[in-house]
Amino acid sequence: MKSSDVSLLLKNTKAVTLAPASVEQCDIRVRDGEIVDLGKQLKSRRDDELVDLQDKIVMPGFACSHTHLYSVLSRGMPPPRSAPRNFLEILRRIWWRLDEALDEESIYYSALVGAIESAKFGTTTMIDHHSSPNAIRGSLDLVKRALRQIGLRAILCYETTDRGGRRRRDLGLEENERFLTENANNRYFRGTIGAHASLTLSDDSLACLGELAGLYDCGVHMHVAEDRADVLDSSKKHGIDVIERLSKFGVLRRKSIFAHGVHLTRRQLKRVEDAGAWMIHNPRSNMHNAVGYAPLSWCGEHSALGTDGFAADMLEESKFGYFRNAESSYPAEFSRLPVMVQNGQRLASEFFGPPFGTLRKGSPADLVVLDYVPPTPLTSRNLHSHFLFGMNSAMVQHVIVNGNWIVWNKQLVGIDEEAIMQKSRRVAKDIWRRMHGR
């Protein structure tokens, strides 16, 4: 099955959306990258590529609302010589050494491997937060090239920070602005302004970020209150809470993307929601780093799900999020995690324009087909239960982005995956050697 721009007629689908929960038997016609018709027993036309999906589930493609593709080749790498004792030591001894070790080749292959996995998980839009302090200029183009090769959409940014000095900070700001302006009308890619976290940004740097975000109406994508250290740094050094500090410099704004929020109060989370900024929950990462658990019941409608560098398996991430939330001090309603998955598509819509995450005329034709055979009745009323306890990413059969097949029968279309993985293993060894000098 080759990708094409011809009309697709998907027959006998079980069309599913998570919010509002909906299950409908119908046919779907796709043309020019969008859904143009839905209905029962649609008639085939001469230029249709007809595919009988035999009652398989069709959903809007998933969005990963916060990740770090540059960390994909960290799996299996040697541990630091001394084990980190807290979150700041994890950053200093592992992740900041990793991003310092990235060159152009490793940036590209990290993104390429991450894109391959994402596509096979049914994740069609990536909201990536990149860092490569020794290869800043043009780095977002390398990530873009890798994702475009696989066929994904993405919202990209570079992590602006003061930890490498003013020159690197300015290069990061320039990379964000360059990519954002060059891709303002790209059908597959958009840019935003990236930053690390309040604790590694001076007042001057935050002011620069806020100015750019205001100029381009794009918000700032950054980590907020992932660890208590971020909260304490703001109060001790600057005399104000971390959200007030971001607000002071124009960073708390519509379309800003704040990852984590583990240590924010109910009042602070309400300020984020009221500003139209997004709070992104990353349960596997928070558990892995033992930083605490975000109070989901305090999050508003602008909350979505990310992976923070873990593979962009949104079905798995939602399960981790649900089970961890069930034993937290702030249990949210049963539907919260499935809704957060679909909220990521709403977030993508704010940048791209069309209504991602929907199955109706005019919706982008970014679709995932799951071979899930429900052992009990599947209805709109119990869909979220099937999503959390029945469906998994191993059931992803086909994936469509912009009307083109990028995965068919679990295989990437037109991609030599084995050759890429052989190369990525060599690239990973080079990264590890530069990190550890061994």
Residue type, 85: R
Alpha helices in 198-265 (DSSP H): 203-216, 228-233, 242-248
Measured distance CA(14)–CA(22) in Å, rounded? 10
Start-to-end CA span in the chain (Å): 45
- 435: Cα within 13 Å, side-chain hemisphere: 25
Structure token digits, residue 350: 């704010």
Instruction: Share the mean pLDDT of the chain.
Output: 97
- What does the pLDDT look like over 327-367, one tens digit per residue? 988 899 999 999 999 999 999 999 999 999 999 999 999 99
Measured distance CA(244)–CA(271) in Å, rounded? 9
CA angle 313, 319, 321 (to 5 degrees): 100
Q: Identify the residue whose tokens are 């602008």.
A: 302
Question: What confidence score (pLDDT) does residue 300 get?
Answer: 95
- What does the pLDDT look like over 242-266, one tens digit per residue? 999 999 999 999 999 999 999 999 9
Question: What confidence score (pLDDT) does residue 4 get?
Answer: 46
Measured distance CA(380)–CA(121) in Å, rounded? 23
Question: What confidence score (pLDDT) does residue 437 get?
Answer: 72
Measured distance CA(10)–CA(54) in Å, rounded? 10
Measured distance CA(252)–CA(234) in Å, rounded? 15
DSSP 95-138: IHHHHHT--HHHHHHHHHHHHHHHHHTTEEEEEEEE--TTS-TT
Domain 62-352 has CATH 3.90.1310.10: no
Question: What confidence score (pLDDT) does residue 5 get?
Answer: 54
Question: What confidence score (pLDDT) does residue 132 get?
Answer: 99
- What does the pLDDT look like over 215-228, one tens digit per residue? 999 999 999 999 99
Measured distance CA(59)–CA(29) in Å, rounded? 14
Contact 259/226 with Cβ under 8 angstroms?
A: yes
Question: What confidence score (pLDDT) does residue 436 get?
Answer: 85
Kindly report whether the peptide bond that precedes residue 20 is cis, defined as omega within 30 degrees of 0: yes
Measured distance CA(124)–CA(188) in Å, rounded? 10
Give the gyration radius of the chain's Cα atoms: 21
Structure token digits, residue 243: 């959200």
Question: What confidence score (pLDDT) does residue 140 get?
Answer: 99
- What does the pLDDT look like over 47-58, one tens digit per residue? 999 999 999 999
Residue boundaries of the structural domains of the chain: 62-352
With 0-12 / 13-18 / 19 or more C-beta atoms within 10 angstroms meaning exposed / middle / buried, residue 418 is exposed
Of the candidates 85, 84, 90, 81, the one whose C-alpha atom is nearest the C-alpha of residue 309 is 90
Confidence band for 394, pLDDT divided at 50, 70 and 90:
very high
Measured distance CA(147)–CA(162) in Å, rounded? 28
Question: What confidence score (pLDDT) does residue 2 get?
Answer: 43
Measured distance CA(158)–CA(180) in Å, rounded? 10
- What does the pLDDT look like over 29-88, one tens digit per residue? 999 999 999 999 999 998 999 999 999 999 999 999 999 999 999 999 999 989 999 999
Residues whose CB falls within 8 Å of the CB of residue 47, separated by 6 or more in sequence, listed in order: 6, 7
Alpha helices in 193-303 (DSSP H): 203-216, 228-233, 242-248, 266-275, 283-289
Element (H, E) at 180: helix 166-182
Mean local confidence (pLDDT), 278-283: 98
Residue type, 366: D
CA angle 212, 218, 224 (to 5 degrees): 85
Contact 296/283 with Cβ under 8 angstroms?
A: no
Residue 136 has pLDDT above 60, yes or no: yes
